[in-house]
A and B are shown apart, each in its own frame.
Chain A
Amino acid sequence: MSYQPIKFYQTGTFTVGNRLLPPEQRSVQAQQKRYNSLNSGHRACQGCGEALGARYAIDAAMEATNGRLICANATGCLEVFSTPYPETSWQVPWIHSLFGNTAAVATGIAAALKVKMQKGERRHIRVVAQGGDGGTTDIGFGCLSGMFERNDDVLFICYDNGGYMNTGIQRSSATPPAARTATTPAVGETPGNVFGQGKFVPAIALAHDIPYVATATVADLRDLEAKVRRAMELSGARYLHILVPCPLGWGFASHETIKMARLAKETGLFPVFEAEHGEITAVLPIRHPLPVEEYLKPQKRFAHLFAPRLRTDVLTRLQALADRNIQRYGLLEKP
């Protein structure tokens, strides 16, 4: 287990920093001179979870590699808001790719770096590929699975906001059941996204038996940073799936981004765990168990479950999904 929460009063490791902790135990994000890999002035919406998650993850990767890092970026929100020509928000070597081939581009960079090292390059430069859930779980999935099975030396980070947000909030294979999107309207007997469709890519990555698979949310920074650090200690194909709430697509106020991520984790709808070589090694346990309604109710994409009539039947099915996660990953067990 790489993340040991510190019960150090008054806030332990719950907050971003803690002046009472020794400097080596403080987070990367708490550093006065942090990398800010994704700089100010980007055009993400107010309260964007993805902008936050990307800075958390890439800053942590920069810290772990001492700044020797190249990023390949899939098309999607993240790319659109960070690099409108001719501006860039990235303070890291960064390459654009197509929507579907990021994993392959990263594989190519890793191969090129390997050749360079054979030709005398002394620096050990690492590669991160990143994209949204559309570019990961749908369009880029073939390249991603290939990268996994070849065990290429790449960390692939998926920022999961559950849909195609910059094109107008269409469904992806990471959209949760019952959620309303532009392509799964809240009409009919089974409104919103269909139950029994979609996929949970961390579990598929796990099935590849790659060196490292983990999930995280923007609500648990210390856990997220520890996972990036662990991933960069290992070589080969690694996968990190970060839940990044989207105020626009999910329909909540811009100040509730972190709260939504926290509720997703605390209700059990989004399991937070890590695995090495196909075996789960740790989970981030639920601290204060909550029913799924707590998470669903503040989001407009689930509003049809509460009005004009309460859809207890649908809520029961969603609760069953959360309960299955809790059971499957042991989310209520004390560490």
Chain B
Amino acid sequence: MMDKPFAITLDPGSSLANRTGSWRTFRPVYVDRLPPCNAACPAGENIQGWLFHAESGEYEAAWRTLVEHNPLPAIMGRVCYHPCEGACNRQHLDAAVGINAVERFLGDEAIRRGWRFSSDAPPSGKRVLVIGSGPAGLSCAYHLRRLGHAVTIDEAAAQAGGMMRYGIPKYRLPRDILDAEIARLIDFGIELRLNRKVSDVLAAKAEGFDAVFLGVGAHIAKRAYIPAGDANKVLDAVSVLHGMEEAGPPLLGRRVVVYGGGNTALDVARTARRLGAEEAIIVYRRTREKMPAHDFEVEEALQEGITFKWLSTIKEAGEEDILIEKMALDEKGFPQPTGEFERIPADSVVLALGQEADLSLLQNVPGLSIEQGLVKVDATMMTGHAGIFAGGDMVGNERTVTVAVGHGKKAARAIDAWLKGESYVPAAKHELATFERLNTWYYSDAPKTVRPVLDIIRRQSTFDEVLGGLDEGNALFEARRCLSCGNCFECDNCYGVCPDNAVIKLGPGQRFRFNYDYCKGCGICAAECPCGAIKMVPEEI
């Protein structure tokens, strides 16, 4: 019985009955890839993750994401050599994102607004001793505290901070910033005991601690034998920089020669210039290209009037001058003496030839081994003696604040696992989000924001901070230059470009889901995803 119009035999239906997903030979899947900035960060920060919040102007959320990995953003935003920016995919478009500048902005914002750490981990009842309050020790203590452990830091010096205070000059790291970030850690419930030099680690551990983290740094200056007259002053970089904090500025004279080619040599020369030295000369046995110091610091030093004697070694230090010998690089790139000598006037010589760790507290620790002045640790930062962990300058030759913070975090996680009787296995890393995986058409053209630099006269006479910070307006701009490599930032492209409406938008912060009933597997979503967060995988047919 038909009650339908003429020539109509079927009820109208919807094409939803036609499951076009069966056509598919490849299926799109959402993935998170590892952004190159995160991959390059020695502290293991989730940079793309905190920039995501900063992009929306949610600075507190950004800061909280940041401090999940690094408790010292205002410090790091000043002293980190930002390998993240060197890896940033945006450098292939215009210039790398100013990650370091945004980190500093967030760190300063946190200090200004008084944001505090929080942890909802229940108390574990375990006590951990951290020896040394440098970046490694502070980072380890912080992460242990986050995990619910009671932490005590023993610091040999009169003030906390380690090399951040006694090694990095004020013009790079103002002390109020350092103090504020340390105070926040104390406020978080970490016990800090100053003027307590630990001379026997096992004895210290026996005072009721379940585990120990060693982060004593490397504070002993390496010396080179230079014949010197009595009147001439030969000093070392560590004590010069240390003296700036405690005993008062050392007397260096009008003409200061610094011997060495690392960042510390530059720090000393620039400090001498600020103390009133008319001439600060860096003597280095190789060339500028071979110098271990970072190029931007060499550049800043040159701007401040520091002079350099490349390819030179100091043979002797006289009463009012020094004798240097010219060097020449051989075919292997090593400096060789030429027999040519030159005298240059000098009131003092500062040796900046590297540092070693004071490992006397580790004598008689069974199982713990030391090789070439470094404490040997395994992949979880544990020394050969169970329950004693170590990190920072005393375990490696890549000696930066950032590396130390990373060591501290890793050790804290391993200590936590060890205290629970487990072994620490780091989470598997995602596939790298390379530049080739991006569709850069979609990003706005946006050149990098230039940070203000202190004028040159004040840089030669005061310890004011050289590099300025961003304000809220340009920090937001800079954060929004992030390409969000490998991680969905909810641009709705996949949702929009699907010819089959096979992408379901789940709402703000919830990302998207594929509707495989209708997805034909054309791959437009993957091709047009700006950040490479969609992968096409073959269907099993």
User: Is the Cβ of B480 less than 8 Å from the Cβ of A14?
Assistant: no
**Which A residues are CB-close (under 8 A) to B499?**
44, 47-49, 51-52, 55, 257
Q: List 5 A-B contacts (CB under 8 A).
A: A15-B492, A19-B489, A42-B15, A89-B14, A255-B527
**Which B residues are CB-close (under 8 A) to A40?**
15-16, 20, 500-502, 515, 517-518
Q: Which of B144-152, B167-175, B237-245, B440-448 contacts A (4 or more CB under 8 A)?
A: B440-448
**Which B residues are CB-close (under 8 A) to A175?**
none
User: Is the Cβ of A52 less than 8 Å from the Cβ of B14?
Assistant: no
**Which A residues are CB-close (under 8 A) to B507?**
32
**Which B residues are CB-close (under 8 A) to A253?**
523
B349 to A: closest C-beta gap in Å: 51
Give A35-58 as 1s and 0s: 1 = Cβ < 8 Å from B's Cβ atoms: 010111111101111011001000
**Which B residues are CB-close (under 8 A) to A247?**
522
B12 to A: closest C-beta gap in Å: 6
User: Is the Cβ of B501 less than 8 Å from the Cβ of A255?
Assistant: no
**Which A residues are CB-close (under 8 A) to B20?**
40-43
**Which B residues are CB-close (under 8 A) to A257?**
499, 522, 524
User: Is the Cβ of B495 less than 8 Å from the Cβ of A30?
Assistant: yes
Expressed in whole angstroms, the Cα–Cα distance for A144 and B222 within the complex equals: 89
Interface size on A, residues (CB 8 A): 49
From 501 to 541 in chain B, residues with beta carbon under 8 angstroms from any chain A beta carbon are 501-502, 505, 507-508, 515, 517-518, 520-524, 526-528, 530, 536
Expressed in whole angstroms, the Cα–Cα distance for A10 and B55 within the complex equals: 8
A-side residues, CB < 8 A to B, are 7-12, 14-20, 26-27, 29-30, 32, 36, 38-44, 46-49, 51-52, 55, 82, 85-89, 221, 247, 253-259, 262
**Which A residues are CB-close (under 8 A) to B16?**
39-41
Interface size on B, residues (CB 8 A): 54
A207 to B: closest C-beta gap in Å: 33
User: Is the Cβ of A11 less than 8 Å from the Cβ of B444?
Assistant: yes
Residue B483 CB within 8 A of the other chain: yes
Expressed in whole angstroms, the Cα–Cα distance for A18 and B495 within the complex equals: 12
Residue B338 CB within 8 A of the other chain: no
User: Is the Cβ of B502 less than 8 Å from the Cβ of A16?
Assistant: no
**Which B residues are CB-close (under 8 A) to A51?**
499-500
B105 to A: closest C-beta gap in Å: 16
User: Is the Cβ of A88 less than 8 Å from the Cβ of B15?
Assistant: yes
Residue B19 CB within 8 A of the other chain: yes
**Which B residues are CB-close (under 8 A) to A16?**
491-493, 495-497
Residue B360 CB within 8 A of the other chain: no
> With contacts A9-B444, A39-B501, A44-B499 known, is A15 near B523, CB below 8 A?
no
Say which residue of B56, B444, B517 sits within 8 Å of A7 (CB atoms): B444
Expressed in whole angstroms, the Cα–Cα distance for A18 and B491 within the complex equals: 5
Measured CB to CB, the nearest residue on chain B to A256 is B527
Q: A9-B55, A17-B495, A255-B536 are in contact. List 4 more A-B contacts (CB 8 A).
A: A11-B442, A43-B18, A55-B499, A257-B524
Say which residue of B12, B491, B524, B530 sits within 8 Å of A47 (CB atoms): B524
Expressed in whole angstroms, the Cα–Cα distance for A15 and B508 within the complex equals: 16
User: Is the Cβ of B522 less than 8 Å from the Cβ of A254?
Assistant: yes
**Which B residues are CB-close (under 8 A) to A10?**
55, 443-444, 446, 480-484, 489
User: Is the Cβ of B12 less than 8 Å from the Cβ of A88?
Assistant: yes
Expressed in whole angstroms, the Cα–Cα distance for A87 and B443 within the complex equals: 40
Expressed in whole angstroms, the Cα–Cα distance for A69 and B127 within the complex equals: 72
User: Is the Cβ of B442 less than 8 Å from the Cβ of A255?
Assistant: no
**Which A residues are CB-close (under 8 A) to B528?**
258-259
User: Is the Cβ of B524 less than 8 Å from the Cβ of A254?
Assistant: yes
**Which A residues are CB-close (under 8 A) to B339?**
none
**Which A residues are CB-close (under 8 A) to B520?**
46-47
User: Is the Cβ of B15 less than 8 Å from the Cβ of A87?
Assistant: yes
**Which B residues are CB-close (under 8 A) to A52?**
497-499, 524
Give the top 10 A-B pairs by smallest Cβ distance, nearest first: A17-B492, A16-B496, A255-B523, A9-B480, A41-B15, A47-B522, A15-B491, A40-B518, A46-B522, A86-B10
User: Is the Cβ of B492 less than 8 Å from the Cβ of A29?
Assistant: yes
> With contacts A10-B483, A255-B522 known, is A82 near B15, CB below 8 A?
yes
B40 to A: closest C-beta gap in Å: 20
Q: Which of A9, A51, A262 counts the most B-chain CB atoms under 10 A from its CB?
A: A9
B15 to A: closest C-beta gap in Å: 3
Expressed in whole angstroms, the Cα–Cα distance for A82 and B15 within the complex equals: 8
Expressed in whole angstroms, the Cα–Cα distance for A64 and B497 within the complex equals: 20
B524 to A: closest C-beta gap in Å: 5
Give B419-448 as 1s and 0s: 1 = Cβ < 8 Å from A's Cβ atoms: 000000000000000000000011110100
**Which B residues are CB-close (under 8 A) to A29?**
492, 495-496
Residue B477 CB within 8 A of the other chain: yes
Q: Which of B11, B15, B480 counts the most A-chain CB atoms under 10 A from its CB?
A: B15
Expressed in whole angstroms, the Cα–Cα distance for A48 and B444 within the complex equals: 27
**Which A residues are CB-close (under 8 A) to B480?**
8-10, 20
Give B54-81 as 1s and 0s: 1 = Cβ < 8 Å from A's Cβ atoms: 0110000000000000000000000000
Residue B122 CB within 8 A of the other chain: no
User: Is the Cβ of A258 less than 8 Å from the Cβ of B497?
Assistant: yes
Say which residue of A19, A41, A82, A255 sits within 8 Å of B17 (CB atoms): A41
Measured CB to CB, the nearest residue on chain A to B528 is A258
A57 to B: closest C-beta gap in Å: 13
**Which A residues are CB-close (under 8 A) to B524?**
47, 52, 254-255, 257-258
Residue B13 CB within 8 A of the other chain: yes
From 430 to 471 in chain B, residues with beta carbon under 8 angstroms from any chain A beta carbon are 441-444, 446
B49 to A: closest C-beta gap in Å: 15
**Which A residues are CB-close (under 8 A) to B17?**
41, 87
Measured CB to CB, the nearest residue on chain A to B507 is A32
User: Is the Cβ of A254 less than 8 Å from the Cβ of B481?
Assistant: no
Residue B490 CB within 8 A of the other chain: yes
**Which A residues are CB-close (under 8 A) to B490?**
17, 19
Say which residue of A17, A38, A49 sits within 8 Å of B491 (CB atoms): A17
Expressed in whole angstroms, the Cα–Cα distance for A27 and B491 within the complex equals: 11
Measured CB to CB, the nearest residue on chain A to B25 is A46
**Which A residues are CB-close (under 8 A) to B341?**
none
**Which B residues are CB-close (under 8 A) to A86?**
10-13
Say which residue of B14, B442, B497, B527 sits within 8 Å of A14 (CB atoms): B442
**Which A residues are CB-close (under 8 A) to B517?**
40
**Which B residues are CB-close (under 8 A) to A262?**
441
Expressed in whole angstroms, the Cα–Cα distance for A105 and B527 within the complex equals: 39
Q: Which of A16, A38, A41, A88 counts the most B-chain CB atoms under 10 A from its CB?
A: A41
Q: Which of A15, A44, A49 counts the most B-chain CB atoms under 10 A from its CB?
A: A15
Residue B334 CB within 8 A of the other chain: no
Measured CB to CB, the nearest residue on chain B to A288 is B441
**Which A residues are CB-close (under 8 A) to B443?**
10-11, 14
Residue B23 CB within 8 A of the other chain: yes
Expressed in whole angstroms, the Cα–Cα distance for A257 and B499 within the complex equals: 10
> With contacts A30-B496, A40-B16, A47-B522 known, is A11 near B530, CB below 8 A?
yes
Q: Which of B19, B497, B508 counts the most A-chain CB atoms under 10 A from its CB?
A: B497
Expressed in whole angstroms, the Cα–Cα distance for A256 and B499 within the complex equals: 13
User: Is the Cβ of A42 less than 8 Å from the Cβ of B500?
Assistant: yes
Say which residue of A17, A19, A221, A255 sits within 8 Å of B526 (CB atoms): A255
B340 to A: closest C-beta gap in Å: 56
A165 to B: closest C-beta gap in Å: 14
From 3 to 54 in chain B, residues with beta carbon under 8 angstroms from any chain A beta carbon are 10-20, 23
**Which A residues are CB-close (under 8 A) to B521?**
46
User: Is the Cβ of A9 less than 8 Å from the Cβ of B492?
Assistant: no
Expressed in whole angstroms, the Cα–Cα distance for A46 and B498 within the complex equals: 10
> With contacts A39-B501, A40-B502 known, is A30 near B444, CB below 8 A?
no
User: Is the Cβ of A15 less than 8 Å from the Cβ of B500?
Assistant: no
**Which A residues are CB-close (under 8 A) to B530?**
11, 15
Measured CB to CB, the nearest residue on chain A to B20 is A41
User: Is the Cβ of B496 less than 8 Å from the Cβ of A41?
Assistant: no
**Which A residues are CB-close (under 8 A) to B477?**
9
